[in-house]
Amino acid sequence: QQQVKQSPQSLIVQKGGISIINCAYENTAFDYFPWYQQFPGKGPALLIAIRPDVSEKKEGRFTISFNKSAKQFSLHIMDSQPGDSATYFCAASMSNTGNQFYFGTGTSLTVIP
């Protein structure tokens, strides 16, 4: 059973546009929601993360929006660039369970010039 559901599976965006990736979860015990970025041939790297006590977190062109009541969170990439082309994974964890992360199935983002 997929603990974190991610959509879309793939996304093509024009340079300068906004990329939006969505994730949903069921387990209300989750209390930490990171996003990872993975380039081909590399391991995933932590991009940005949020805790449920805030509704939004912004770091540069990357923003996480969090809706606790809907149990959804999303990644917004503003002014998308070709260098942002990568696979993005959302994840969720519970602080008191050995820090195991549950990952979404990933979104392959392509930013075309």
Partner 1 sequence: NAGVTQTPKFQVLKTGQSMTLQCAQDMNHNSMYWYRQDPGMGLRLIYYSASEGTTDKGEVPNGYNVSRLNKREFSLRLESAAPSQTSVYFCASSDPGQFNYGYTFGSGTRLTVV
Q: In whole angstroms, what is the distance from residue 86 CA to residue 36 CA?
A: 10
Span near partner 1 by CB under 8 A; candidates 19-27, 64-72, 76-84, 92-100: 92-100
- Which one, of 44, 110, 39, lies nearest residue 81 by Cα? 110
Is residue 32 a contact residue for partner 1 (CB under 8 A)? yes
Nearer residue to partner 1 within complex by CB, 13 or 50: 50
Give the burial class of 36: count Cβ atoms within 10 A of its Cβ; 0-12 exposed, 13-18 middle, 19 or more buried: buried
Is residue 98 a contact residue for partner 1 (CB under 8 A)? yes
Q: In whole angstroms, what is the distance from residue 84 CA to residue 111 CA?
A: 7
Token pair listed for 24: 């949903």
Is residue 34 a contact residue for partner 1 (CB under 8 A)? yes
CB of 11 to partner 1, least distance (A): 15
CB of 14 to partner 1, least distance (A): 26
> Which positions lie near partner 1, rule CB under 8 A?
2, 6, 9, 32, 34, 36, 41-46, 49, 89, 95, 98-101, 103-106
